[in-house]
C-alpha cells in the first residue's frame, strides 16, 4: 500500500492527541521508519498503524524539551500558536511567521 501525502508540514506547530505535549515538525517520514523495538514499546491499545506519515518534532511539555516521533493519527493542529521553547528551534528555523516556523535557507536544500 502506498503511503499517503502528509497532512502536516515542516515548520508547523502541532500537539499530541493523547499526551500533553506540543512541538514543531522538523522532518516527515512517509511511513513508519523507526526501530521495531521502539514500535513494540508502545502499548498495543494505542499503537498506531505503520502505513501513515510519522513526524519528527522538537517537542515540549510543562517540564522539559525533547525530540518526539509521532504518527499522523496522534497529532492535531496546535491551538496556542505560541513559540516552542526547544533549544534547537533557533538552529533549524529562522522564526515564527503567522503561526509557522520558517526553515533556515541552508536546511531547505
1 occurs within a structural domain: no
Look at residues 84, 62, 63, 89 and name the one whose alpha carbon lies nearest to residue 14.
84
26 occurs within a structural domain: yes
List all residues 6 or more positions away from 10 whose beta carbon is below 8 Å from its beta carbon.
25, 26, 27, 28, 103
Cell numbers that stand for 36 in this block: 521495531
21 occurs within a structural domain: yes
Three-state DSSP state, 84: coil
Q: How far apart are CA 6 and CA 84, in angstroms?
A: 21
55 occurs within a structural domain: yes
What is the model's pLDDT at position 109? Answer: 57
Cell numbers that stand for 66 in this block: 525533547
Ranges of the chain whose pLDDT falls below 70: 1-4, 107-109
What is the model's pLDDT at position 85? Answer: 95
Domain limits at 81? 13-108
Amino acid at each position: 500500500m502506498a503511503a499517503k501525502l502528509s497532512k502536516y508540514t515542516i515548520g508547523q506547530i502541532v500537539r499530541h492527541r493523547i499526551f500533553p505535549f506540543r512541538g514543531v515538525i522538523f522532518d516527515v517520514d512517509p511511513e513508519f521508519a523507526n526501530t521495531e523495538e521502539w514500535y513494540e514499546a508502545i502499548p498495543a491499545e494505542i499503537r498506531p498503524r505503520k502505513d501513515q506519515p510519522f513526524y519528527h518534532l522538537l517537542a515540549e511539555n510543562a517540564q522539559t524539551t525533547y525530540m518526539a516521533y509521532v504518527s499522523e493519527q496522534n497529532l492535531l493542529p496546535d491551538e496556542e500558536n505560541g513559540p516552542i521553547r526547544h533549544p534547537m528551534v533557533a538552529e533549524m528555523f529562522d522564526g515564527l511567521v503567522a503561526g509557522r516556523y520558517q526553515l533556515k535557507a541552508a536546511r531547505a536544500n
